Amino acid sequence: MRYRFSVVLAAAALAGLVAGGVGSAGPSPAAPSTSAGPSPTPTLVCPPAVPIGGTVSAVTATSVTISYSMLLRPPCGYDPPVTVMLFASLEDAQQGQSPVAEAVSGPERYGTMTVDGLTADTAYWARFSADGVLVPYVLISVRTAPLPACAATVTIDNGWNGGFVATVAVRNVGDETLDGWRVSWRWSGDERILALWNAVEESSGAEVTVRNASYNGRLAPGGSTTFGVLVAAGTPPGGIAVTCGR
């Protein structure tokens, strides 16, 4: 009897253990998930470069020409067209407010823009905008050229096979009396000066500079004088482009 009772107890205990998961495989533990889920969006890193660059390439008394280059495309840069804006003060330029003049580029990513209608001998500050955004990286200072002190024009009086005679008129276009002037030009071919009157030749060759004589260098505002030149040339030119200054 004792033996039978012990067997019954042992059988009952074993049954309890099996029911509780001991001594058998029992329910399998949950396997770790192998799904990676959505990949994180990578962080965009733009190269350390200025997306738009610009330099002043030319100035006159009333205009400024600026060369630009759009180095990077969106999202790290901009798409053309690009606008260059000129401001009358550094504060306005820093704030991007009250531009006094502007010019817009074409579809090219590299090129030049000329802003006209400016005041002579005046400082300006230039900034770019593109895609409707004021570009924060570039601030350019520039000054327009002063008004020329004088202007000169050339009239070819007579020409023949082998040379010509011309008259150069010099006029004071400034607001002050002009004490001395110089007229310069560049020959386009084999021209050379044979004689000069009412002026003095300072340099010859392809690049020519002529200055006033001792008696005709002082010109009141609006005043003018002339000098003449005899030139040897294979073929007389159609005209001569000259510049005048002090």
| The predicted structure's pLDDT at residue 32 | 53
| The predicted structure's pLDDT at residue 34 | 54
For 218, phi and psi rounded to 5 degrees? Answer: -95, 115
pLDDT one-digit tens code per residue, 155-194: 999 999 999 999 999 999 988 899 999 999 999 888 999 9
More confident residue, 236 or 105: 105
| The predicted structure's pLDDT at residue 234 | 87
pTM, two decimal places: 0.60
167-193 CB burial, b ≥16 within 10 A, e <16: ebebbbebeeebeebbbbbebeeebee
Tell me: pLDDT of 1 over 50: no
- In CATH terms, is domain 150-245 a member of 2.60.40.290? yes
| The predicted structure's pLDDT at residue 22 | 39
More confident residue, 11 or 127: 127
Q: Where exactly does CATH 2.60.40.290 map onto the chain?
A: 150-245
* CATH annotation of 52-143: 2.60.40.10
| The predicted structure's pLDDT at residue 215 | 97
pLDDT one-digit tens code per residue, 123-137: 999 999 999 999 998
Q: Where exactly does CATH 2.60.40.10 map onto the chain?
A: 52-143
C-alpha–C-alpha distance, residues 70 and 109, integer Å: 5
Average pLDDT of the residues in 55-65: 95
| The predicted structure's pLDDT at residue 17 | 32
Q: What is the CA radius of gyration of the chain?
A: 42
List all residues 6 or more positions away from 239 whose beta carbon is below 8 Å from its beta carbon. Answer: 154, 156
| The predicted structure's pLDDT at residue 147 | 86
pLDDT interval class at 47 (50, 70, 90):
confident
| The predicted structure's pLDDT at residue 38 | 67
